[in-house]
Amino acid sequence: MAQTTSSTSESRPDTPPFRYTAKLAEQIETTWQDRWEREGTFHTPNPVGDLSAGFDRVADRPKLYVLDMFPYPSGAGLHVGHPLGYIGTDVYARYKRMLGFNVLHTMGYDAFGLPAEQYAVQTGQHPRVTTEANIANMRRQLRRLGLGHDSRRSIATTDVDYYRWTQWIFLQIYNAWYDTDADRARPIDDLIAELDAGTREPAEGTNPFGRPWAELSPTERRVVVDNHRLAYLHEAPVNWCPGLGTVLANEEVTPEGRSERGNFPVFRRPLKQWMMRITAYADRLLRDLDLLDWPEAIKQQQRNWIGRSEGARITFPTVAPDGGEGPGIEIFTTRPDTLFGATYMVLAPEHPLVEELTVPEWPDDGIPASARDLWTGGHDRPADAVAAYRRRASSRSDVERQVETREKTGVFLGSFAVNPATGERIPVFIADYVLMGYGTGAIMAVPGEDERDWAFAEVFDLPIIRTVQPPEGWEGKAYTGDGPSINSANDEVDLNGLHIDEAKRRIIEWLEAKGIGKGTVTTKLRDWLFSRQRFWGEPFPIVYDPDDGLPRALPESMLPVELPDIEDYRPVTFADDDDTSEPVPPLARATDWVEVTLDLGEGPKRYRRETNTMPQWAGSCWYELRYLDPNNDKAFVDPENERYWMGPQHEGDCGGVDLYVGGAEHAVLHLLYARFWHKVLYDLGHVSSLEPFRRLFNQGMIQAAAYTDRRGMYVDAHEVVEREDGTFWYGDEQVNREFGKMGKSLKNTVTPDEMYESYGADTLRLYEMFTGPLDQSRPWDTKAVVGVFRLLQRIWRNVVDEDTGELVVSDGELDDDTRRKLHRTIADVRDGMENLRFNVSIAKITELNNHITQRWPDGGAPRAVIEPLVLMLAPLAPHIAEELWSRLGHERSVCAERFPEPDPAWLADETVEVAVQLNGKVRQRVVVPATDDPAELEAAVRADPKVAALLEGRTVRKAIAVPGRLVNFVVA
RNA sequence: GCCGGCGUAGCCCAACGGCAGAGGCGCGUCCCUUAGGAGGACGUCAGUGUGGGUUCGAAUCCCACCGCCGGCACCA
């Protein structure tokens, strides 16, 4: 078949030889891409180091650091949805460069992680082989788009030179602790010195030995110090995912209790794992959101995730079975003011005090006959009831908990606590509506002021005491709003009449004075589980000493710790639902690598390497810093380079990347982790910026039509045709249209390569930028692409004769009308560029070009308008702009030229048409001389006979004149 | 349920509180063309989700509701 359908804009025999066709576009584009590469057009100089050549040329210019969320190099290649953000940043960076900024813009690859490993397993190749092939393919696809990246700065997280520094940063974190007095991280050696000097006690919960520091053995001291570190080993219930063969961070588990990647079931089970003490930074991560220019939605998600709440911890005494004193139960509440209304207590089923508080026999009194079966679970002995309930709670997956109605369940432990405010004896329950992972895992239940407690109290027939006066006519159950306290006084403290805030303050004072409670802050954020049982990740720079089993950090001089070559890098995975399985890191099989003799200061000794690897997020926690100084082998980044590109720009500025563009799906994972690392590096004096990303922008998603047949199966969207009546057909079958994310599963993928083939890269770039503001999602519509393609053809025709290839521009003077149009356009195009609303810029360029076409239909438009037009096009469609610029006789790349500036003198018209309104309704339009003076304008308008006629016989009460726009007469 | 975002022609989208339309798709007519065509010219379509309020004037600001999208959710 000689005739293919791809000949959309292909030259046909009668096509003029110099028409801008896809074929010509391709020639132009590849030529300029080669030249950019050859000349290093986008090489950006640093203040110091190996990339500093030429810095003195730009030293006095403003700087701009533009960053894209770097991609994971997938084996599937790109579709047209992927580069939306990359094109946006490229246009912005090119524009700013033409304004004289020293712009840093590059692109790297986030290449470690599960998908790379899975893809490698599928294709039977080593992950490094597939990863590198995928990166090469992606580089090729992106290069063809004409992105103006400094290719010298590109990195992949899998490069040994890169992950060496990832390991180095891990060591910084490991060798640091959080000084809560100074509210910052400090080197661990400072802590040891202070402990030795006796000027500091070990922090709460870090000394399990119960003896002072001075009396501890060296090994015990090591344990205490390790308990302070920002990276620490911890045995605790973690998210174990047998289907992936690894544990996962909380952030990687969906609310349904499944893995975000792969959607496998996740089980909680206790394991010893590396953790990062991100909770130490919770307050600062929350507070500093206010310094950031980020979308409100993302800030909100981070606030939600951190979940800070202020309240109090209160210890409730308990009554032992023999009538003596039992263990105290510590609870957390955000409503200490409601203490007088606490009529029972609830522990999480997994709470460590449950066994101790479970009495041998049901008490004789205190259980209401009406709900006895519920309280006891129908069991004769409390221990049986508790065991049965616990079994049931642990077997229920989170999914089941979601599906079930929130009918409250629980059982009585048989023991009682004492409400410290009222002295009343109150029963203690376990119930699964209290979670071990939040607060202290125990609550005081105040049914009067809490809906969940109310629901439980109703079912279990427990007393309800209101402690806040509900408003007049309140018919609801629990009242959670504000109001004066009631029923809240004892001999020592009286809250009655106080509103919530004041009541909280008063009761906390009382609790603290009595030593039974104190005001505290709790966060939902947990420490970050940092180890994975996978092969394809950064090895930890950690070994274990066989003598004490404790970890030892490797010194900096032993970095990098390279991944060993092993035969079988596949993870050990299990049946999805095999919750009895144990994680087995693949690196454990590399026995030659694991067993190692090192001299860590005690002479050569056998050690065992850590066989877990770091999570995928590690590499993306700091790549923005490495772009600044990618080849530096003395430091992860030279401080001077960091200060220049990312340092605070003025008093009160947090510093960071000037524009960071990426999808909204990383709201809490990458963005939170990267902020955390950055703050640690800041505390330790390695960076000058407080935050990594000052301005964040979420690009929209490109969606595409997908079609389903009668059976609900997706059919190839390329083959579907729309009929006149608006119905869609696949062959002779009518199909149903829906919109969704582009991808294989919906069979609606459109690739950049198809677009290059039919139109060229400039058209693709222009189309993606034209369909809407960058932050908006929009549907892909292949047949609408031709609109911007025509625009490029028309611009081309205004410069180049399609038959001869000769220039058709003249050297004539501009008429005033065109000059005004030009300057108006320049102002508007700039405005669109500044605000990342490239759609507006393109529309204004189109308008100017339409004007030129109409004014000079047979060519001959003056250079004075054509050249600025080409310059304005340059950031958007750089190849055609370069080509036209060079054909116009310029030697230099258009990238080195200055963006046109609007002349204010030509922004205003000599005469303007203003609207004349009567009471806000437009009644007349008149042309009057332009003026800035409202009084002059009003006079001019009144002088118009049509207006005079309009006002005939009416009383003008007031006239509002807005220069350049309108005059509104308010008439009786 | 709570939080955030968005609703303007058939579709994608513009409009410092000031004349609702910049641009494109689609559609229609005509020109070029043996023909087809994604070449050219001209034209076509909404009163801004709904209801209130502020204002001389509201797509724009405020309130309530409706719809769509996203996030969180037994978090004490």
As a whole number of angstroms, the distance between CA A289 and CA A694 comes to 10
> Which amino acid residue lies closest to nucleotide B5, measuring CA to C1'?
A297
Q: Do A469 and A339 fall into the same domain?
A: yes
If you average pLDDT over residues A753-779, what whole number do you get?
Answer: 91
Query: What are phi and psi for residue A409, nearest 5 degrees?
Result: -130, 165
Residues A408, A262 share a domain: no
CATH of residue A803? 1.10.730.10
> Measured CA to C1', what is the nucleotide nearest A776?
B6
CB of A825 within 7 Å of some strand B atom = no
Claim to verify: residue A502 and residue A375 sit in the same structural domain: yes
At residue A94's C-alpha, the angle toward residues A93 and A98, to 5°, is 115
Q: Nearest nt (C1') to A450 (CA)? A: B76
Q: How far apart are CA A279 and CA A281, in angstroms?
A: 5
What pLDDT, on the 0 to 100 scale, is given for residue A401?
A: 53
Q: Does residue A13 sit within a domain? A: no
Calculate the angstrom distance between C1' of B15 and CA of A825.
15
Lowest mean pLDDT among A230-239, A267-276, A280-289, A397-406: A397-406
Taking the stretch 215-244 of protein chain A, residues with Cβ within 7 Å of any atom in nucleic acid chain B are none
Q: Tokens 């309930």, residue?
A: A389
Contact A306, A527 (CB under 8 A): no
For B37, nearest residue by CA–C1' is A8
The residue among A398 and A473 whose pLDDT is bigger is A473
Residues 515-534 of A with CB under 7 A from strand B: 522, 524
Contact A116, A72 (CB under 8 A): yes
Of A141-145, A385-389, A565-569, which range is least confident?
Answer: A565-569
- Taking alpha carbons only, the member of A300, A301, A142, A297 closest to residue A697 is A297
Gap from A526 CA to B55 C1', in Å?
A: 51
User: What does the pLDDT average to over A459-481?
Assistant: 85
Question: Is A422's CB less than 7 Å from nucleic acid strand B?
Answer: no
CA distances from A120 to A113, A412, A567, A570, A786 (A): 11, 53, 13, 9, 39
pLDDT tens by residue, A943-964: 888 888 878 877 888 888 887 7
Which nt sits closest to A22, CA to C1'? Answer: B38
A63 CB-to-strand B distance under 7 Å: no
Tell whether A375 is covered by a domain.
yes
A402 pLDDT above the threshold of 60 = no
Q: Is the CB of A851 under 7 A from strand B?
A: no
Same domain, A509 and A366: yes
- For residues A213 and A224, is the Cβ–Cβ distance under 8 A? yes
CA dihedral A678, A680, A686, A688 (to 10 degrees): 60
Nearest residue by alpha-carbon distance to C1' of B72? A304
Specify the pLDDT at position A909: 67
Nucleotide nearest to A456 (CA to C1'): B74
Q: Are the C-beta atoms of A703 and A741 separated by less than 8 Å?
A: yes
- Mean pLDDT lowest among A65-69, A255-259, A795-799: A255-259
- For residue A395, how many C-alpha atoms fall within 13 Å in the half-sphere facing its CB? 6
A794 CB inside 7 Å of strand B: yes
What is the DSSP code (8-state) at residue A470? P
> Phi/psi at A127 (nearest 5 deg)?
-55, -35
- CA–C1' A747–B45 (A): 34
Same domain, yes or no, for A259 and A355?
no
pLDDT band at residue A9 using 50, 70 and 90 as cut-offs:
very low
Q: Is the CB of A788 under 7 A from strand B?
A: yes
Q: Is the CB of A305 under 7 A from strand B?
A: yes
Give residues 908-927 of chain A lying near strand B (Cβ < 7 A): 912-915, 917, 919-920, 922, 925
A365 pLDDT tier (thresholds 50, 70, 90): confident
Spacing of A928 CA from B22 C1' in Å: 24
- Neighbouring-strand partners of residue A595: A608
Closest CA to A673 of A85, A251, A113: A251
The predicted pLDDT at position A726 comes to: 66
**Whose C1' is closest to the CA of A15: which nucleotide?**
B39
Q: Would the ipTM clear 0.95, i.e. be above it?
A: no
Ramachandran angles phi, psi of A698, nearest 5°: -95, 120
A674: in domain: yes
Q: CA A442, A447, A452, A456 torsion: positive or negative?
A: positive
Residue-wise pLDDT tens digits, A601-654: 889 999 999 999 999 899 999 999 999 999 999 999 999 999 999 999 999 899
What HEC string does A319-379 produce? Answer: ECCCCCECCCEEEEECCHHHHHHCCEEEECCCCCCHHHHCCCCCCCCCCCHHHHHHHHCCC
Return the nearest residue to B6, CA–C1'.
A776
Calpha distance A742→A419 (Å, rounded): 59
Residue A951 sits in a domain whose CATH number is 3.10.20.590
Which of the residue ranges A309-313, A435-439, A846-850 would you say has the lowest mean pLDDT? Answer: A435-439
Q: Which of A676, A698, A720 marks a domain boundary?
A: A698
* Of A314, A313, A332, A319, nearest in space to A428 by CA: A319
Strand-pair category, A659-662 with A696-698: parallel
CB A791 under 7 Å to nucleic chain B: yes
Q: Is residue A191 part of a domain?
A: yes
Q: Is the pLDDT of residue A387 over 90?
A: yes
Residue with tokens 């909380």: A250
Share of chain A above pLDDT 90, in %: 56
Measured from the CB, is A850 under 7 Å from any atom of strand B?
yes
Residue A685: which pLDDT band, with cuts at 50, 70 and 90?
A: very high
Å from the A224 CA to the B49 C1': 63
Q: Which of A698, A723, A758 is the last residue of a domain?
A: A698
Chain B: bases < 7 Å from a protein Cβ: 3-5, 11-16, 18-20, 22-26, 35-42, 56-58, 70-76
For residue A4, is pLDDT > 50? no
Nucleotide nearest to A668 (CA to C1'): B71
Task: Tell me whether residue A763 is in a domain.
Answer: no
Over residues A12-36, mean pLDDT: 87
Identify which has the larger pLDDT, A76 or A723: A76
Residues A288 and A426 in one domain: no
User: For strand B, which residues in window 365-404 of chain A come within 7 Å by CB?
Assistant: 401-402
Whether nucleic acid strand B comes within 7 Å of the CB of A96, the answer is no
The C1' atom of B74 and the CA atom of A185 lie apart, in whole Å, by 35
Q: How many residues does chain A have?
A: 972
**Range scoring the smallest mean pLDDT among A51-55, A62-66, A154-158, A309-313:** A309-313
Angle at A737 between CA A731 and CA A739, to 5 degrees: 135
Core vs surface per residue A189-208: b (16+ CB within 10 A) or e:
eebbeebeeeebebeeebbe
Which amino acid does the sequence have at A566? I
CA–C1' A708–B50 (A): 34
Query: Does the CB of A3 sit below 7 A from strand B?
Result: no
Q: Is the CB of A846 under 7 A from strand B?
A: yes
Which amino acid, A299? Answer: K
Query: In the complex, which nucleotide's C1' lies nearest to the CA atom of residue A922?
Result: B19
For residue A843, say whether its CB is under 7 Å from any atom of strand B: yes
3-state secondary structure of A901: coil
Output the six-digit token pair for A285.
């991560």
Shared-domain flag, residues A899 and A782: yes
At residue A397 the predicted structure's pLDDT band, cuts being 50, 70 and 90, is low
Pairing state of beta strands A246-248 and A231-241?
antiparallel
The reply to whether A712 falls in a domain is no
State CA A32 to chain mean position distance: 35
Residues A578 and A659 in one domain: no
Does at least one atom of strand B sit less than 7 Å from the CB of A106? no
Give the per-residue pLDDT at A343: 95
Q: Residue A88 CA to B45 C1' — how many Å? A: 32
A822 in any annotated domain: yes
Supply the CATH number for residue A408's domain: 3.90.740.10
Q: Please say whether the dihedral angle defined by the alpha carbons of residues A320, A326, A332 and A333, taken in this order, is positive or negative.
A: positive
Say yes or no: Cβ of A663 under 7 A from any atom of strand B: no
Q: Residue A82: which CATH number?
A: 3.40.50.620
Distance A297 CA to B62 C1' (A): 22
Q: Tell me the one-letter amino acid at A733.
A: E
Judge whether residue A448 contacts strand B, using its CB and a 7 Å cut-off.
Answer: no
Name the residue closest to B13, CA to C1'. A772
* A667 DSSP 8-state letter: T
| CB-based burial label for A729 (10 Å; 0-12, 13-18, 19+) | middle
Is A296 within 7 A of strand B by CB distance? Answer: yes
Which of the nucleotides lies closest to A964 (Cα–C1')? B18
Q: Which residue has the higher pLDDT, A474 or A310?
A: A310
Amino acid of residue A554: L
Is A482 found in the same domain as A570?
Answer: no
Which of A8-17, A25-34, A116-125, A218-227 shows the lowest per-residue confidence on average (mean pLDDT)?
A8-17
Q: How confident is the model at residue A186 (pLDDT cuts 50, 70, 90)?
A: very high
> A364 CA, B66 C1': separation in Å?
57
**Based on the domain organization, do A205 and A331 belong to the same domain?**
no
| Residue at A393 is within a domain | yes
Question: Does at least one atom of strand B sit less than 7 Å from the CB of A835?
Answer: no
Average pLDDT of span A419-431: 94
- Alpha-carbon distance of A296 to A283, in angstroms, equals 18
Tokens of A915: 């609207």
Residue A789 in this model has a pLDDT that exceeds 60? yes
Residue nearest to nucleotide B14 (CA to C1'): A840
> In this structure, is the CB of residue A965 within 7 Å of any atom belonging to strand B?
yes
The strand ranges marked E within A30-120 are: 63-68, 102-104
A779 touches strand B (CB under 7 A): yes
User: Does strand B come within 7 Å of the CB of A7?
Assistant: no
Percent of chain A predicted with pLDDT > 70: 96
Average pLDDT over residues A898-910: 84
Residue A555 has pLDDT above 90, yes or no: yes
For residue A11, pLDDT beyond 50: no
Tokens 């953000």 belong to residue: A85
The strand pairing partners of A332, in sequence order, are A313
Work out the pLDDT band at A58, boundaries 50, 70, 90.
Answer: very high
A949 Cβ contacts chain B strand, under 7 Å: no
**Last residue of a domain, which of A698, A714, A745?**
A698
Number of structural domains (chain A) is: 5
Same domain, A376 and A257: no
Higher-confidence residue: A713 or A463?
A463
Q: Which residue has the tokens 């501890």?
A: A216
> What pLDDT does residue A206 have?
93
Helix (H, G, I), strand (E, B) or coil at A178: strand
A151 touches strand B (CB under 7 A): no
A595 pLDDT tier (thresholds 50, 70, 90): very high
- Domain identity same for A158 and A188: no
Given a contact cutoff of 8 angstroms between Cβ atoms, the answer to whether A822 and A871 are in contact is no
Calculate the average pLDDT of chain A: 88
Across-strand partners of A966? A915, A962
User: Is residue A210 over pLDDT 50?
Assistant: yes
A52-61, A447-456, A701-710, range with the lowest pLDDT: A701-710
For residue A780, give both structure tokens.
């892909």
The residues near A665 (Cβ < 8 Å, ≥ 6 apart) are none
Point out the residue nearest to B73 (C-alpha to C1').
A255
Q: Does nucleic acid strand B have an atom less than 7 angstroms from the CB of A117?
A: no
Give the 3-state secondary structure of residue A599. Answer: strand
* A902 CA vs B5 C1’ separation (Å): 35
Range of the domain at A47: 38-163+624-698
Which nucleotide lies closest to A854 by the C1' atom and the CA atom?
Answer: B41
Contact status, residue A22 vs residue A30, Cβ threshold 8 Å: no
The pLDDT tens digits of the residues spanning A835-852 come to 899 999 999 999 999 999
pLDDT at A601: 87
